[in-house]
Structure 1
Amino acid sequence: MGVQDVLEHLQRLGLSGYEAKAYVALVAAGRPVNGYEVAKRSGVPRSTVYETLGKLVARGAAFELRGASDATDYLPLPPASLLDRMRREFDGSVAVLETALPAVVAEPEQHMIHNLKDGEAMLARAEDVVAGARRDLFLSVWPEETARLGARVHEAAGRGVDVSIMSFGSGADANGSGGALPGNVYEHRYSAPEAVLEDLGYRLIVVVGDRREAVVGGFGADGSAWGIYTADPAVALMAAEYVRQDIALQLLADRVGAAELDRLFATDPGLLRLLGRTPSNH
């Protein structure tokens, strides 16, 4: 991780851009330094460096050292202490907001459905759905997507969420450990994943939490992606039923055999009508 990554993460935790640069400069100096040297090391303008250092001192991320000549040098709060303080403040704010935010939330006039602009947005929203589940999770996923979601699914299973997964792959854990995904995992063999991919033209992802919110989308072979998030319980229920029916079909294929299912799909009038096909002459 480079300095730019460190600066970006410090800003995510509440420091301004100048504050992050000044703090990193103090840490990198390894000794007390004055404002002029902080400006030179950090790129913070000299016109604002003392204001920036004052803000770091006010938040406890730096300390002033006054010498005999009344010159002021600065020392940083050690990184471990700063991060521990930020963690405590963050956890404290979250604890307060868990009670305070629901009290000010108005009931939505309509259930939310919105588009997800790209694959990253879709996977981030899917992570939110998995992290928010408290009762059950239904997932229909491919290895490329479980690589991102696997750790969150493990966390959900660890807090007692009932997990059901239709896996278009071996069911290997997606988080890099090589172990098994948690919960009830069913490998999609009827039809084979490559046949499904050829038929659809994309990898379909369905993630449903507590049958009240869902992410549904697709990933194309060309890197394109489309998807939606919905908190409409009717749509979420339908998405969960899609996964449940796919699992049921796989269980049926395991029980009676793929050949028998193929025969039924080729000859049964009701199935043929649903599939938009005409009866075979054979």
Structure 2
Amino acid sequence: MLQQFGFTQYESQVYEALITIDEALDATAIVKRSNVPRSKVYDVLRRLSDKGMVLESTVEKKRLYTPLPLESAISKLRRDFDDNITQLKSIQVRNKPADDRVWTLKDDQSIDSLVSAILNHATTSIVFSGWADDIEQHHSLLESKESNGVSVEIHTIGNLNTNISNVTTLIPDSEHQNLERSRIVIIDKEEVLFAGIEENNWQAIHTKSRPLVTFFTEFFYHDVALTEITQKFGTMMMEDSEIRNVLLKLRY
């Protein structure tokens, strides 16, 4: 009966012998009812006592045993199980190695599939920067995540038709010299995917390295700030030839 909860066969037999009779028993009676050998019964009773599954009393120099009531035993086993689960989770967290490796990936379709996968894993926050048509492929998932309480921030190059609340939009200027297609996806402030085009082919890196997550997070907000500044003061800044030349060289 108790074996599935981590007790030995003899421990289970002794507890069952005690719980199925409404009186306290001494070791001799327990041996008869449980079929546990006399040479083992005292050790089994000691272990059950240590585990809080039997109560002991001495009456007229005779040691008597009675079981922990069944409802109390069930409650105890539940609490023990919950405590063990809590300890197991704690051990997993403590022993989980930090994975700061940087993985590389090629091919646009493979990169896009990985973007979908990591977006699905997001539980608290998503930061997404890219061109509107790239973001559009994940738009329904992003809206779903936001509706489920995940913070979603988007920086899009080109107009994006969306109900997402936090979106910064850059409308490209034909004279921008370094406005290259790229994607930045950061989830839960701990994982980043950056993709860009090199020699006409998409290439990406994916990592949980904290320095790189921090770098690309700052890079994202650099793009957002630059877009906001350009929208508010662009006309004035473009009138200054030196500032205009610098702005057109910046990579958003």
Length-normalised TM-score, structure 2: 0.54
CA distance in 2 between counterparts of 1:219 and 1:243 reads 18
Query: What does residue 262 of structure 1 align with?
Result: 238
Match of 1:246 in 2: 223
- 8 Å CA contact 1:165–1:183 kept in 2: the answer is no
Task: Determine if contact 2:136/2:160 at 8 Å carries over to the other structure.
Answer: no
Q: Secondary structure at the match of 1:199?
A: coil
Contact in 2 for aligned 1:217/1:226 (Cα 8 Å): yes
Equivalent residues in 2 for 1:1-12 (5 A)? none
Identical positions, percent: 17
SS of 2:137's partner is helix
**Please, which runs of 5 or more residues in structure 1 have no aligned partner?**
1-98, 173-179, 277-282
CA distance 1:252–1:265, change in 2 (3 Å): farther
- Among candidates 189, 198, 201, match of residue 211 of structure 1: 189
* Alignment of 1:131 onto 2:89: no
Q: How many residues align?
A: 161
Counterpart CA distance in 2 for 1:245 and 1:164 is: 13
Shift of 1:251: 1.6
Deviation, structure 1 residue 157: 0.6
Larger Rg: 2
Provide the C-alpha distance between the structure 2 equivalents of 1:258 and 1:150, rounded to a whole number of angstroms.
29
Residues 216 and 132 of structure 1: is their aligned pair in 2 closer, same or farther, counting only changes over 3 Å?
same
The answer as to whether partners of 1:150 and 1:181 remain within 8 angstroms in 2 is no
Distance in 1, matches of 2:202 and 2:99, equals 26
Residue ranges of structure 2 left out of the alignment (5+ in a row): 1-87
Deviates more, 1:206-215 or 1:131-140: 131-140
Q: 1:141 to 1:195 in 2, by over 3 A?
A: farther
Shift of 1:146: 1.7
Q: CA RMSD in A?
A: 3.3
Q: Matches of 1:252 and 1:243 in 2, distance apart?
A: 14
The alpha-carbon deviation at position 168 of structure 1 amounts to: 1.0
Report the Cα distance in structure 2 between the residues aligned to 1:220 and 1:231, rounded to whole angstroms.
Answer: 23
SS in 2 for 1:226: strand
Q: Distance in 2 between matches of 1:181 and 1:163?
A: 11
Contact 2:156 2:170 in 1 (8 A): yes
1:139–1:165 contact (8 Å) kept in structure 2: yes
TM-score by length of 1: 0.49
Rounded to whole Å, the distance in 2 between the matches of 1:266 and 1:259 is 14
1:146 corresponding residue in structure 2? 135
Sort the Cα spacing of 1:182 and 1:221 in 2 relative to 1 into closer, same or farther, 3 A.
farther
Are residues 106 and 195 of structure 1, via their aligned partners in 2, closer, same or farther at CA, if it must alter by over 3 Å? farther
Alpha carbons of structure 1 residues 227 and 195: separation in structure 2 relative to 1, 3 Å: farther
Amino acid at match of 1:121: S
Instruction: Note if 1:229 corresponds to 2:215.
Output: no
- CA 1:143 to 1:221, structure 2 compared with 1: closer, same or farther past 3 Å? farther
Q: How far apart are residue 105 of structure 1 and its match?
A: 9.5
